[in-house]
Chains A and B, each alone.
Chain A
Amino acid sequence: MNLEKSLRAANRKLLIPYVTGGVTANWTDYLTAYAQAGADAIEIGLPFSDPMIDGSTVQRASDVALERGTTVAKILAEVSTLDIGVPLAAMTYYNLVQRTSPDAFCRALAEAGVGGLIVPDVPLEEAAELEAAAKDNGVDLVLLAAPSTPPARLAEIAARSRGFIYAVSVMGITGERAALADTAGRLAADLKAATDRPVVLGIGISTAEHAVEASRHADGVVIGSSLMRRVLDGATPDEVRDWLATVRTALDQEFAHSLLA
């Protein structure tokens, strides 16, 4: 399923939940649960031993998954059997991508039905080879923008990103925060001014309240660590679905209000 087309067609604020592939034996049940809760796309983490942009929750999820013998091939094999009606994007680090080759990696994603790819340790300067490989295989390479990104660079990221633009809300790593960072709104606004491609805020979006506040500036949110904390603490797919559904409802209510206003 094409990631960007699908996101552009959604007539609501985008909700993109994250799960670490292989974190539990039944991890794909969380994908189904996310879809039932109203996800517009799902981000699947392909676990790496040295996740540079991840905080302790996703680190732990990655370690647990790797200890279970999780590999990229196993995750993609499981994903390819699913039919949940929601576009999928893989999130991982460049060492896993280049181990075979960017082209072989993107082909494997496409064959498994994963239409997007997020690689946070590949900035613009290093992206050319991966961009070409993703394009050749019909995979949308999502680029990240940060609060520290200067304006000219933001414009280039907006122009070269596919699927959506991942706006990193805070100068920091993944993990739950008490409040939405005040850098989030300005970054989303600057990106919205630079592109008509969906702008999605992620990192530190921990609660329904954060999601609602972020959605006032951006087209949607990625929620990762607060979900993975629940999964690691043993929450069932149904329990996680019910919590995520409250975020969906809050986003939809806010969106309805904004249309009326």
Chain B
Amino acid sequence: MTELSPLPRFEVATAMSEPSEAGRFGEYGGRFVPESLIPACAAVEAAFRSAWADPEFRRNLDRLLAVHAGRPTALTPSWRLSAELGINLLLKREDLAHTGSHKINNVLGQALLARRMGKTKLLAETGAGQHGVATATAAALLGLEATIFMGSRDIERQSLNVFRMKMLGAEVVPVDSGSRTLKDACTEALRNWVAQVDDAYYCVGSVMGPHPYPWMVREFQRVIGDEARRQVATELTTGVPDYVVACVGGGSNAAGTFAGFVDTSAQLIGVEAEGGAAVAFGRVGVMHGFRSLVLQDDEGQIGEAHSIAAGLDYPGIGPEHAHLNDSGRARYVYVNDDEVVAAVVRLARTEGIFAALESSHALAWIIRAAGTGELPQGANVLMTLSGRGDKDISALMEVL
């Protein structure tokens, strides 16, 4: 009889598998939407389950990811920065994916799903504009219409991406309610979906929203983690990294990355923006169709997130991240705007890579933690570099 090994402190077999039937990850998630949208959410869930189990759908998606999005993306050792920090830092280069970020992975999956469901139009919210650009791209590629909801404040901050979306044939709808940022764009997208649910598919941009979106978006993003797992295995003699680090707004690139390593010994670290750190400063709440940790006041009014990175200006966090935090399988930290700007510059000058402000949150934490007990000398670190920084040039020109 073989001896049983001691139980790990988390259940590897169930971590980052399917949520419960009700769409729960632990106590988080669910489907808190108006009755009008319940049949639509159920239809998306049924279509996704069927598509994800269909080899032809998977082949079509894999082919689009290869020939259109340019996957697999590279794994780049950061030689000079690693030497400076005393660690071994590997970068998963989602900035090299078509449209400049990981967002394309999810959007190609959902756009194919929308077409499979017979929908003619994609609705999406966007913060920095990366998900909006990716949605507009997929819509153009597959012959669908696209309507993108974007806070009017973000439209001012991200004029380049607004122009890109329009170039791609999408309609960009300014949202003037509330804080005029990502959270208000999400609310407005949900409102509009109710009114055109027969023709329109809501293409959620992160691991949030009502069930099945948090699970489905993570599955479409797990290509990041699965690719990185194979690539890291050939780079490292240990096979797996000691640390896996990614930035977190809603948390889709982190969820996709973590999914590839959740069954290893790697420590998983999610890095939020200080002004949007739902794990550090949030409380359990319900917003945009799901229960999670949410920045809110004592009354339950939703707080406004603040970050130099518009893509992280979100007062909540995906429900699975809240659960990974509760279970201890992942740890969530935060950095401030100054650290992020310094990290952008440092990566550009040591490695010749211009990273997005969002992605640079992960790097800022690595720079701060390297050589401390949090990230010891000699550690093997995988970081997902989720997007490129071209969109941030005007924001950086203001502060540099």
Contacts and interface: CB of A to CB of B under 8 A. Distances in A.
Given A50-B187, A52-B190, A59-B177, A147 B36 contact: yes
Interface in B185-219: 187, 190-191, 194-195, 197
Nearest to A157: B35
A168 to B, nearest CB: 6
B300 A144 contact: no
B299 A173 contact: no
A145 B35 contact: yes
Contact of A126 (B32, B287, B299, B300): B32
Nearest to A71: B299
Given A121-B289, A173-B194, A72 B36 contact: no
B302 A50 contact: yes
A94 interface: yes
Interface stretch (A6-14, A77-85, A95-103, A252-260): A95-103
B183 interface: yes
Nearest to A119: B32
Contacts of B286: 93-95, 98, 121
A3 B187 CA distance: 31
Nearest to B36: A146
Contacts of A125: 22, 30-31, 38
Contacts of A235: none
A189 interface: no
Given A50-B187, A95-B286, A148 B39 contact: yes
What is the interface residue range for chain B against chain A? 35 or more
Given A50-B184, A149-B39, A172-B194, A121 B299 contact: no
A171 B183 contact: no
B192 to A, nearest CB: 9
B265 interface: no
Given A49-B302, A171-B197, A150 B39 contact: yes
A120 interface: yes
Contact of B299 (A53, A72, A120, A157): A72
A49 B34 contact: no
A55 interface: yes
B152 interface: no
A99 B296 contact: yes
Contacts of B37: 148
A94 B32 contact: yes
A65 to B, nearest CB: 11
Interface string B294-305: 101011111000
B371 interface: no
A12 to B, nearest CB: 27
Given A50-B178, A149-B39, A95 B294 contact: yes
B302 A149 contact: no
A66 interface: yes
Interface string A48-74: 111111111001000100100001100
A179 interface: no
B33 interface: yes
Given A96-B300, A123-B31, A126-B30, A171 B194 contact: yes
Interface string B271-306: 000000000000011111100001010111110000
Pick the most buried of A48, A51, A123: most chain B CB atoms within 10 A of its CB: A123
Interface string B133-164: 00000000000000000000000000000000
B194 A53 contact: yes
A209 B20 CA distance: 47
Contacts of B33: 52, 121, 123
A248 B183 CA distance: 40
Interface of A: 48-56, 59, 63, 66, 71-72, 93-96, 98-99, 120-126, 143-150, 153, 157, 168, 171-173
5 contacts: A59-B177, A98-B284, A120-B34, A123-B38, A125-B22
Given A50-B178, A50-B288, A171-B194, 7 more contacts: A94-B32, A95-B296, A123-B34, A144-B34, A148-B38, A168-B35, A173-B194
